[in-house]
Amino acid sequence: MTVTGLPFDDFRTLLKELPGPDTHALAAARARDRQLTKPPGALGRLEEIAMWLAAWSGRSPQVNRPLVAIFAGNHGVARHGITPYPPSVTQQMVENFAAGGAAINQICVTHDLGLKIFDLALDYPTGDITCEPALSERDCAATMAFGMEAIAGGTDLLCIGEMGIGNTTIAAAINLALYGGEAEDWVGPGTGSDGEMLKRKIEAVRTAVAFHRDHLSDPLEVLRRLGGREIAAMAGAILAARVERIPVLIDGYVATAAAAILKAANPSALDHCLIGHVSGEPGHLRAIDKLGKTPLLALGMRLGEGTGAALAAGIVKAAAACHAGMATFEQAGVTNSSTH
């Protein structure tokens, strides 16, 4: 075993030993839900969300410190002319996030969410996946570990977002490697690729998966070879949240591809996650289906930045507030069907 192989293998071990749901917190939340002044089930999916919060936080459903974490990275594959924007836009958007000028800033203000940006060596794009691995084992492990730091400042609802010109190509390659089919099944316009550019994008994804095909049975190798820094960091953040009992909202097509790596390594790895929003990127719904999930929102957005997760955080906050703040039948003096 090489020295650099050690930390990468630690992630394999960690992925095998994930904590399960807190059944006591879940039972307590179910019992309280039955007492609240509403017909059973009348809050529909909000009730499921409240139960999910209890199960994966290990306490009564509440959201006090929601956080949006945006991970930013650049990609060697962008040299193939697969996206209409230059990689310099990644850094420019990081500055825009810091200045409060992006869509995600306004959604965070609307729903009172914290926002942290993690930029990952933007001057050093990852390897060109069509002919080399995106990352070395050491880089991949270090970047996953860095992503785990996203929760270090404390949060009780983590929204996962990204910024990285070219990363819808990366997400498509990961999906093709994990789920098979044709490159066309997983490649969409992203920020607006069409015509010849879209053809190059499809070709890049096909070539990349063919180049690495002998190494793609191991999900962490899919991440290392076909991923990118923000993808590895998102995977690390989702994993850390599981270990620390923090429920997670996943954003669009790109964030879902990072999450899919973990699910491929351990089928229960995303039980603490919900998908916030189904992106307009055509492959997203199919990718979500592969995870056995149903997105909370469908607003036709195709932006990334964590916007879909952040909008869904408003719904999760409302679910927690209903559970925590509603009166019981007894408190409100409202007659319950079972007692009259």
Ligand X SMILES: O=C(O)c1cccnc1
The contact set with ligand RBZ (CB under 6 A) reads: 83, 85, 89, 93, 162-169, 190-191, 193, 303-305
Count the Cβ atoms, other than its own, within 10 Å of residue 173: 31
Q: Least distance in Å: CB of 143 to ligand X? A: 19
Q: Nearest to ligand RBZ by Cβ — which residue? A: 190
Catalytic one among 137, 230, 305, 330? 305
Q: Nearest to ligand X by Cβ — which residue? A: 252
What is residue 115's three-state secondary structure?
strand
Binding-site partner at residue 143 among ligand X, ligand RBZ, none, CB < 5 to 8 Å by type: none
Residue 149 DSSP symbol: G
Q: Least distance in Å: CB of 139 to ligand RBZ? A: 20
Q: Is 2 exposed, middle or buried (0-12, 13-18, 19+ CB in 10 A)?
A: exposed
233: CB partners within 8 A, 6+ apart: 71, 73, 118, 120, 143, 144, 146, 147, 150
Q: Smaller CB distance to ligand X: residue 73 or 252?
A: 252
Binding-site partner at residue 105 among ligand RBZ, ligand X, none, CB < 5 to 8 Å by type: none
Query: What Å distances lie between residue 126 and 233, 249, 340, CA to CA?
Result: 13, 26, 66
Q: Smaller CB distance to ligand RBZ: residue 22 or 184?
A: 184
Question: For the residues of 170-191, what is the DSSP string, one character each?
Answer: HHHHHHHHHH-S-HHHH---TT
Which tokens belong to 90?
A: 């990644």
Binding-site partner at residue 279 among ligand X, ligand RBZ, none, CB < 5 to 8 Å by type: ligand X
Which tokens belong to 284?
A: 């997203």
Q: Smaller CB distance to ligand X: residue 57 or 169?
A: 169
> Can you tell me the distance from the alpha carbon of 298 to that of 78, in angstroms, rounded to the nearest whole number?
29
Binding-site partner at residue 87 among ligand X, ligand RBZ, none, CB < 5 to 8 Å by type: none
Give catalytic status of residue 330 as yes or no. no
Name the nearest CA neighbour of 338 among 30, 27, 39.
39
Q: Least distance in Å: CB of 305 to ligand X? A: 8
Q: Which residues bind ligand X (CB under 6 A)?
A: 168, 190-191, 251-254, 279, 281, 284, 302, 304
Q: Least distance in Å: CB of 317 to ligand RBZ? A: 23
To which residue do tokens 């790596």 refer?
261
Q: Which residues are catalytic?
A: 305
